[in-house]
């Protein structure tokens, strides 16, 4: 008799209701394997370039309106002096 059946019988619970309905360890291992294969696939030849471009985009995205206003001001100033 296994320890879960022994504990279940001493607690007055049937052996079938004492079983875990879902195997969490197996699903965690499957999720980890899926994550690892996704990470391996994302490490392509252009990974460093794409990563650098994402960092630049993240930095510039918050300042896009400010950069546009500065560019317009510089353009107007250059036209005024010309």
Domain shared by 5 and 32, yes or no: yes
User: Using CA of residue 23, residue 29, residue 32, residue 38, what is the dihedral sign?
Assistant: negative
Domain shared by 5 and 39, yes or no: yes
Domain shared by 30 and 53, yes or no: no
Containing structural domain, residue 76: 48-82
List, run by run, the mean pLDDT of 10-residue segments along the chain (82 residues).
49 54 73 84 77 86 86 95 80
Structure tokens at 82: 């010309």
Domain shared by 39 and 55, yes or no: no
Domain shared by 25 and 54, yes or no: no
How many structural domains are present in the chain? 2
Domain shared by 64 and 34, yes or no: no
Domain shared by 36 and 2, yes or no: yes
CA pair distance 38, 44, nearest whole angstrom = 11
Domain shared by 34 and 57, yes or no: no
Closest CA to 76 of 11, 68, 26: 68
Which pLDDT score, from 0 to 100, does residue 19 have? 59
């Amino acid at each position: 008799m296994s320890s879960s059946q022994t504990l279940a019988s001493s607690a007055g619970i049937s052996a079938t209701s004492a079983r875990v309905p879902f195997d969490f360890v197996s699903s965690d291992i499957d999720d980890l394997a899926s994550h690892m294969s996704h990470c391996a696939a994302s490490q392509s030849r252009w990974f460093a370039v794409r990563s650098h471009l994402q960092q630049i985009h993240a930095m510039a995205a918050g300042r896009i309106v400010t950069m546009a206003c500065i560019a317009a001001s510089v353009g107007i100033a250059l036209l005024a002096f010309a």
